[in-house]
């Protein structure tokens, strides 16, 4: 017998076939199989001195293939509907209304499975990347009046569903129980395993409320002493009974009470204090969210959007509490900052880049050196 896969005669034994044919090849069948099992990374340089002695761990949901935590719910809502026989690629057009990340997740899963897809978004400048990415996945994008927000998108989609129920199916991310369920069955268990059961605080923003209620429920069941904190924009604290006003923390603060949070205590008034498995409703302003997102990129090398900035701001405050010493905090990082280039948080750098890279470009051979970012002075 020669080397693996070779022989001195023309016959090939069963053992030799096993040697030359890969067994248990390490690849995934489709892109949706890459969703989940995101890394947990310890933060350090972005945190204040008061947080010393506290372990703050970031759950990097931007590492999902579609770039956000919403990939989890997109896959689960669609696959559960398939199992129940509600939808199939040959007869169903999937339509969802969204501020962006769920739309991208749905568009990606639809492309992978062969569904026609329509994504409905508000007609706002901050949607530009989301619009482009959904279109890149082959989805049709329809825009509704920005000032009417989620209620306006909901009315438009429900009208289509009523007119052609046999054609359209909507995941209904704000009310579909397959949303929090996937966080209960994947996100929560991942965190528990990654921390070896040492998590003391769990922090997440409130968009639909699926992440904080699903993962939070799992963690509370494993350890009732885990503190669950839900984040809203300071400008839109509807979960504690305050009015919704305009804000720039895309992805949270939709301006309507989250169904999954309401369902934990249906008769309870919307006010400050705990509700169900949520111990605290905390908040962050748009300005603070942008400040912390920028700080995280520059000091930790983690590029995030404003909702993650809000989460880090809250995590840093919790880590600075005397009672948090020696404890472990896990915070959800929902998406990457590259998805927010048209958000005001990028405005200064985008302006600088336009000056640095003029159109048309200067193609003269001399001089060799053309630009130093350190010398840039914004025009007043």
- The two tokens of residue 146 are 């920005």
307 is catalytic: yes
Residue 324, SS3?
Answer: helix
- List CB contacts of 43: < 8 A, sequence separation 6 or more: 56, 57, 58, 300, 312, 315
Residue 48, SS3?
Answer: coil
Specify the DSSP class assigned to residue 236: B
For 230, the enclosing helix (H) or strand (E) is strand 227-233
Burial class (CB in 10 A: 0-12, 13-18, 19+), 36: buried
380 is catalytic: no
Q: How many residues does the chain have?
A: 380
59, 70, 113, 327: the catalytic one is 70
Spatial distance between the Cα atoms of 363 and 150, rounded to a whole number of angstroms: 47
- List CB contacts of 372: < 8 A, sequence separation 6 or more: none
Specify the DSSP class assigned to residue 90: T
One DSSP character per residue, 162-203 reads HH-TTTEE---TTT-THHHHHIIIIIHHHHHHHTTT---EEE
99, 112, 236, 307: the catalytic one is 307
Rounded to the nearest 5 percent, the helix, strand and coil shares of the chain are: 45, 15, 40
Which residues does the annotation mark as catalytic? 70, 307
């Amino acid at each position: 017998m020669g080397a693996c896969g070779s022989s001195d005669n023309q016959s090939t034994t069963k053992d030799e076939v096993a040697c030359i044919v890969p067994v248990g090849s390490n690849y995934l069948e489709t892109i949706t199989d890459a969703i989940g099992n995101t890394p947990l990374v310890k933060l350090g340089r972005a945190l204040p001195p008061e947080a010393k002695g506290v372990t703050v761990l970031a759950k990097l949901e931007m590492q999902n293939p579609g770039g956000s935590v919403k990939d989890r719910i997109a896959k689960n809502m669609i696959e559960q509907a398939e199992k129940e026989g509600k939808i199939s690629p040959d007869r169903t057009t999937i339509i969802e209304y969204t501020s962006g990340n769920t739309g991208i997740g749905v568009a990606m899963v639809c492309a992978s499975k062969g569904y026609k897809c329509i994504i409905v978004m508000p007609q706002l400048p901050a949607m530009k990347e989301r619009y482009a990415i959904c279109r890149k996945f082959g989805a049709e994008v329809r825009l509704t009046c920005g000032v009417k927000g989620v209620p306006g998108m909901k009315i438009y989609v429900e009208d289509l569903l009523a007119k052609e129920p046999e054609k359209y199916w909507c995941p209904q991310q704000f009310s579909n129980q397959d949303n929090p369920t996937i966080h209960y069955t994947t996100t929560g268990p991942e965190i528990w395993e990654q921390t070896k059961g040492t998590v003391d605080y769990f922090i997440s923003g409130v968009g639909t409320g699926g992440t904080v209620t699903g993962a939070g429920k799992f963690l509370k069941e494993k350890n009732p002493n885990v503190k669950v904190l839900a984040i809203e924009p300071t400008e839109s604290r509807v979960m504690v009974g305050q009015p919704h006003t305009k804000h720039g923390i895309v992805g949270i603060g939709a301006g309507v009470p989250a169904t999954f949070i309401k369902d934990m205590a249906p008769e309870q008034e919307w006010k400050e204090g705990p509700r169900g498995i949520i111990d605290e409703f905390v908040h962050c302003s748009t300005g603070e969210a942008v400040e912390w997102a920028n700080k995280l990129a520059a000091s930790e090398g983690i590029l995030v959007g404003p909702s993650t900035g809000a989460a880090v701001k809250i995590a840093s405050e919790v880590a600075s509490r005397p009672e948090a010493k020696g404890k472990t905090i896990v915070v959800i990082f929902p998406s990457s900052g590259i998805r927010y280039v048209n958000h005001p948080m990028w405005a200064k750098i985008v302006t600088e880049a336009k000056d640095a890279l003029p159109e048309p470009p200067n193609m003269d051979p001399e001089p060799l050196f053309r630009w130093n970012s350190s010398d840039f002075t914004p025009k007043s």
